[in-house]
């Protein structure tokens, strides 16, 4: 039975993935900052008939990560798969960025991944086998309007993952990037705050409209969980797997789009003109429902 650790396992994609992998026969260690918030994932894994161990782990605290790694290794040995899922969202155009708040985004979305990788990679490297799965975002492939810091943290994660994939290849360790589009979770529905006052109302309105249409599509976190399992077991051993609403369309559309055309999207004064251009570029209709 392969042993998996997933961070941020108490909610959203993390919870869905933990339950799904437990149901599929993996021994899952579900990491979260507070175990008293893990009732749903614990109950879900139990109902699925899987093996699930709740673990206290704060990706922002090196001592917490190291302590959790030692506890897990003492409970049966090193893990086979690390899923770096814990992450936070953040809305801001560059001029509106609160730098201290932005640093906290990178603390979780970037440095947290490095802390966990440093703690759990040695066990994989020593056995010449293992997988590290980083839950990125389609925002790691496209500069998400109104989300400069969040998207930057995911771009940084994409670079980190490409570097890591080369570094650990000689040791038989595989790196995987999961790049979800919009997935309907409780966190997403609450992420509607934007800086005020601001000169960038158009950007925020269009960003929130994009997510509103994604929420309407009602793609559940289970879709991402199934993609994670597919990636783990994929004999093709690809690096990237896009999924959920808009994931494939945005990544592929940006590859086709010239930089000049990307910049031109920001010049539209009227929302309807912007929505028309967006659909031509990415084959996604994000207009408000009438």
Is 39:29 a contact under the CB 8 Å cutoff?
Answer: no
DSSP per-residue string spanning 34-61: -GGG-HHHHHHHHHTT-EEEEEE--TT-
According to CATH, the topology of domain 3-190+219-253 is Rossmann fold (3.40.50)
Q: Tens digit of pLDDT for each residue in 232-249? A: 999 999 999 999 999 999
pLDDT in tens, 123-157: 999 999 999 999 999 999 999 999 999 999 999 99
The model carries a pTM of: 0.96
Q: Please state the three-class secondary structure of 154-187 as a single string.
A: HHHHHHHHHHHHHHHHHHCEEEEEEEECECECHH
Catalytic residues: 150
Domain ranges in the chain are 3-190+219-253
């Amino acid at each position: 039975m392969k042993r998996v650790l997933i961070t941020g396992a108490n909610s959203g994609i993390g919870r869905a993935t933990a339950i799904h992998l437990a149901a599929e026969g993996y021994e899952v260690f579900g990491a979260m900052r507070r175990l008293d918030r893990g009732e749903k994932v614990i109950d879900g894994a139990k109902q699925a008939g899987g093996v699930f161990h709740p673990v206290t782990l704060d990706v922002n605290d090196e001592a917490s990560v190291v302590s959790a790694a030692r506890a897990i290794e003492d409970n049966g040995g090193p893990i086979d798969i690390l899923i770096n899922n814990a992450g936070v969202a953040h809305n801001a155009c560059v001029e509106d960025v609160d730098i201290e708040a932005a640093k906290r985004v990178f603390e979780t979305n970037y440095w947290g991944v490095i802390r966990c990788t440093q703690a759990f990679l040695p066990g994989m490297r020593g056995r010449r086998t293992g997988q590290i799965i980083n839950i990125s975002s389609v925002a790691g492939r496209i500069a998400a309007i109104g989300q400069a810091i969040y998207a930057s943290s995911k771009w940084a994660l994409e670079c980190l993952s490409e570097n890591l994939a080369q570094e650990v290849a000689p040791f038989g360790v595989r790196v995987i990037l999961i790049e979800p589009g919009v997935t309907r979770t409780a966190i997403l529905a609450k992420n509607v705050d934007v800086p005020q006052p601001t000169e960038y109302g158009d950007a925020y309105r269009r960003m929130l409209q994009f997510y509103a249409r994604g929420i309407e599509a009602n793609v559940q976190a289970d879709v991402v969980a199934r993609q994670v399992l597919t990636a783990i077991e994929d004999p093709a051993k690809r690096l990237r797997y896009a999924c959920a609403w808009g994931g494939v369309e945005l990544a592929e559309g940006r590859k086709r789009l010239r930089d000049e055309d990307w910049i031109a999207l920001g010049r539209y004064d009227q929302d309807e003109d912007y929505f028309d251009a967006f659909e031509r570029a990415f084959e996604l209709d994000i207009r408000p429902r009438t």
